[in-house]
Chain A
């Protein structure tokens, strides 16, 4: 079967760094997406990894290891507006996104 595993909730301090991990098992693999979703809003695209390694985009970076079925999202210089849920979504052999339940990130001053 297909399975995505992420922590349910994490707490971090404004200005700090946080790493949100995601492990996955899918039928085939065609890349992995991270989305951000603020409460009551729609998910929005953050990053996409298809090759092993780190993709950096400003304060956000995403890492992928295909052999380990593992990805993480790294958020630096945390701001209060980063309080949101972060959704890990690998793409299976049919190019369908398989969604994790998301990690709720709480930022404290």
Chain B
């Protein structure tokens, strides 16, 4: 693994189904983030984690949950998908603890369609 990876690359999902988007980084970064990106809108933060074992809510957390059992993995779960969750999802990480400089590194994204 080099950097940050996401799976799946894309997914079509029936409404009401449960779905987990996976994110793994090998940079030993403390902080990780989940964003969604919709046409015409900026990246919107769903959930974040400043360190393993802790998580926080972002701007648009409803309908999503996360866990951070270890440093490397940060899965995002949609408990019961709805069409409004159709979006491109990006996972990111940063070495936030080392300084206030918070450059974020992004995974390649997951394109999710909920029908």
Query: Residues on A close to B: CB < 8 A?
Result: 4, 8, 30-31, 33, 41-45, 48, 87, 89, 91, 95-97, 99-102
Contact = CB atoms under 8 A, between A and B. Distances in A.
15 contacts: A4-B42, A8-B40, A30-B100, A41-B108, A41-B109, A42-B107, A42-B108, A43-B90, A45-B104, A96-B45, A96-B58, A99-B35, A99-B43, A101-B41, A101-B42
Label chain B's interface by main secondary structure: loop
Interface of B: 35, 40-45, 48, 58, 90, 96, 100-109
A33 B92 CA distance: 15
A44 B100 CA distance: 19
- Pairs of residues from A and B, 10 with the lowest C-beta to C-beta distance, nearest first: A99-B42, A42-B106, A99-B43, A101-B42, A100-B42, A95-B102, A43-B106, A45-B103, A42-B108, A30-B100
B43 A91 contact: no
Nearest to B108: A42
